[in-house]
Amino acid sequence: MLSDKVANALNQHINAEMYSAYLYMSMSNAANDLGLKGFASWFMVQFHEEMMHGMKMYEYLQRQGVSVKLLAIQQPPHDFSSALEMFEKTLEHEQKVTGLLNNLMEIAKEEKDNATQIFLNWYITEQVEEEENDNDMIQQLKLIKDDIRGVLLLDRELAQRAVTVPTDYSKGIESAMKGEG
């Protein structure tokens, strides 16, 4: 059973994950506009990951007997002038999400909610990987600078990233992830 404080905070955080999905879908569109199909595909994979993060929390709340209240999703930015700008904005956003998750963890601790602390561990570990990926991409794009051949090579490499998370939400995310949560 969750306290109202924990349930409300998790409910609010679903919205942050949905916004992340929306933001990366917008970046995918912007990359496509720039002719960078590999970057566009990478951001769509990221979109699926974020949807999974939101749905995993949705399912956790339901399993704890909480009725989820869906909130309005903020409009994401539409214009990005370069791949570097997208990854800089991505890192900035992920740092914000890390802060939100750390706050959630503090609330779970204050409420002596051990199950939620264990559940949130997965998200907190995931953020380390997300920020690392963004930092790596920023470094590479800064090294490449305006060398279009370098950008196109990276574009080809990013096109290889495949969706590895469950995308059939009707089956339940936590069960589909076989206890990883």
**Closest distance of CB 110 from ligand OFO, Å:** 23
Residue 181 to residue 176: CA distance in whole angstroms: 10
Task: Rounding to the nearest 10 degrees, give the CA dihedral for residues 74, 26, 84, 132.
Answer: 70
In angstroms, what CA-CA distances link 175 with 56, 178, 180? 10, 5, 9
Minimum distance of ligand OFO from residue 96's CB (angstroms) = 8
Of 17, 59, 155, 174, which lies in the binding site for ligand OFO, with binding defined by CB under 6 A? Answer: 17
Spatial contact of 108 and 5, defined as CB atoms under 8 Å apart: no
By rule CB under 6 A, what string of x and - marks binding of each residue 34-53 to ligand OFO?
----------------x--x
Burial of 48 (0-12, 13-18, 19+ CB in 10 A): middle
Name which of 17 and 113 has its Cβ closer to ligand OFO. Answer: 17
Task: Name the minimum Å distance from CB 116 to ligand OFO.
Answer: 17
| Contact map string, positions 138 to 177, toward ligand OFO, x by CB under 6 A | ----------------------------------------
# residues contacting ligand OFO (CB under 6 A): 8
**DSSP H helices in the chain:** 4-33, 37-63, 83-110, 114-144, 148-158, 173-176
Q: Taking the complex as a whole, how short is the minimal distance between the CB of residue 31 and ligand OFO, in angstroms?
A: 17
Cβ 44 to ligand OFO, closest distance in Å? 14
Q: Interface residues with ligand OFO (CB under 6 A)?
A: 17, 20, 50, 53, 94, 97, 126, 130
